[in-house]
Amino acid sequence: MRAQLDDVRERAEPLAALWASEDTIYGRFGYGMASYVGDASIPAEYSGFARPLARPGTLRLVDRDEALAAFPRVWERVRRRTPGMLARSRSWWELRVLAERPGAGEGGPKRFVLLVEDGVPVGYAIYRHKPRWEQGIPQSELEVVEAVALDGLPTAQIWRYLLDVDWTARFTARLPLDHPLFWLLAHPRHMRFRVLDGLWVRLVDVGAALTARRYAAGGPLVLEVADAFCPWNEGRWRITDGVARRTRAPAQLRCDVAALGSAYLGGVTFSQLVRGGRVEELRRGAARRADAMFASDRHPWCPEIF
């Protein structure tokens, strides 16, 4: 961890993020749990939608080459509105997202489906179908590897396609806490949803990281940050009009860098962290002000583990 964070700093990268292999490790080095995800499991008999669905787009299966040409266009449009989604290089698409790794395709290969409206890609899905029968009755699982689409009808159409695949008893996916399926399904109670920690975030350069993100309100806000592992971050930081600078002004909130990492993407509020004993409110109302500044209109989501 010492080598990693020193290397990140030398490259002038303001933060690091990861999926934790064990939830007790990374907090010791300044990472904070910044989002939640859910492992969803939907029985086929409860996969109907609550409302009739208009289908203005065209859905079709595509091969790997066409997926490589079209899927990144959709990803980029969704990524720019979603905290936590990563930029992907062409190599990342070719060698990781669309490629078949040895042993990863148990039960069937990756399938690629594309949704197009007026000649423009607006959604896609990558999935595997794992066939299994018991006494002639299909007990197969459809694993949604990734389903990305524009808001509204494109998202609904992609999921209607996935939930209509034959020979399927159960559909599984990893989803953010605010996924539209909770509102699309007629029986959301029957979607088993096990909540897990998602992205962990570590601010390596507090000033640069706080300046790099956008804010829903202008501030000002003064944070006192403790960081024993990367002591260059320690001190008081004032955020005004989206810019963070060192200050001698009295702090309004006090926390360690891990708690600040938890709040950074907007999926965890400072008020939650105050209630959980991870942030100290030094001036009344400061947590609410910080919540308003760091707010996001959607929960952070990274569709893949890295």
Residue 93 token pair: 């698409």
d(CA 270, CA 223): 11
- Please, are residues 23 and 197 in contact by the beta-carbon 8 Å criterion? yes
Which amino acid belongs to residue 267?
A: G
Q: What is the DSSP letter of 73?
A: H
26 carries an active-site annotation: yes
d(CA 204, CA 256): 12
Q: Is the dihedral of CA 281, 283, 288, 292 positive or negative?
A: negative
d(CA 63, CA 114): 10
Give the angle 38-84-276 at the CA atoms, nearest 5°: 65
Choice among 26, 29, 112, 294 that is catalytic: 26
- Please, are residues 84 and 301 in contact by the beta-carbon 8 Å criterion? yes
Among residues 76, 164, 71, the alpha carbon closest in space to that of 115 is found at 71
d(CA 150, CA 152): 7
127 carries an active-site annotation: no
- Please, are residues 234 and 256 in contact by the beta-carbon 8 Å criterion? no
- Please, are residues 182 and 188 in contact by the beta-carbon 8 Å criterion? yes
d(CA 16, CA 9): 10
CA distances from 187 to 44, 48, 142, 190, 222 (A): 11, 7, 19, 6, 45
Catalytic residues: 26, 306
